[in-house]
Amino acid sequence: MKNKLIAMILLGLFISCKENDSNEKQFIYEGNPIVRYMFTADPSARVFNGRLYVYTSHDEDTADANQHFLMNNWHVFSTEDMINWTGHGQILSLDDISWTDRQAWAPDCIERNGKYYFYFPVEQTKIGVAVSNSPVGPFKDILGRPLIDNTNNEVIVGREPIDPALFIDDDGQAYMYFGCRDARVVKLKENMIEIEGEIQPIVIKGNKEDAENSGGYYAEAPWMFKRDSTYYFVYSNGWRSQSTIIYAIGNNPMGPFNYVGEVMSPVGAGTSHASILQYNDKWYIFYHNNVLSDNGKRRSICYDEITFDIDGKINHLIYNER
């Protein structure tokens, strides 16, 4: 018994040292939210080499519900079975970027030619790109300047070029979607750090009469995925307790898209941001809520399985707080 106790103590010390050295934390999914030891938001879920990774922004513990978002860095979490998770720690910080110092908001990451490209919005006006040889970083700002900047170019770029979302089509063409209130899309060159052609507005049909926080109104948080031959353009319709994740469909990644309806019922967090992907023959939606804090500036990432009907429409997900 004594030897067993000593072994357990030594094992605990080893695990603790391992966590400290690698900045990793192992944890088990206990139901939503996924991560319970820190506040995370804006999940971008990706599958690399058979493993699922979720890239997130980070709401600081001291974020005040009555003030603006307090966000200084980005994190990534991964799993192979949706139950056993690894928190890989901070992968990029505002301190690592020479040309900005505020508002580390919703990111995305994508792999191309063995490298991982991490796209990050800052200042509500700019999008940068960092690169790594590993999906868990460390990532390095590759350009030393923004890839997208609306300074003196708001008409083309949009009022708030935030929330980058990447998509590579079957023919190898890469696209980046972004924008708050003004939905935009642009092609990227194969090197993933240069735009190709003009930034274009996204046309969504069937939502012209819809107001902010309802219907098909485009607010922010774009996401693109393809299922069979259909392109699904997913986004948020506002910033109130009744706003949620909705979607439109089309036959071209540049649009136009036809508004369909809600992906899921509202979670009541004040903001909505989601990603959808297929993993191990199932489809999942990742999103955030605020059940751990009851504070819209301290959010937590979640996931649920989604399904499709015979016509390819998403079966409406009823959100259950748990």
Which residues, in sequence order, are CB contacts of 64 under 8 Å at separation 6+?
70, 297
Catalytic choice (141, 220, 262, 305): 220
- Residue 196 annotated in active site: no
**What are the residues whose beta carbons fall under 8 Å from the beta carbon of 191, sequence distance 6 or more?**
none
Active-site residue (options: 42, 141, 160, 163) = 42
Dist. CA 197–CA 203, nearest whole Å: 18
Q: Let me know: does 285 contact 266? Beta carbons within 8 Å.
A: no
Query: Per-residue b/e over 280-291, b at no fewer than 16 CB within 10 Å?
Result: eeebbbbbbbbb
Q: Is 210 a catalytic residue?
A: no
Distance (Å, rounded) from C-alpha 165 to C-alpha 178?
Answer: 6
Report which secondary-structure segment, H or E, holds 46: strand 39-48
Contacts of 49 (CB under 8 A, 6+ apart): none
Count how many residues are written for the chain.
322
Q: Active-site residues: which are they?
A: 42, 220
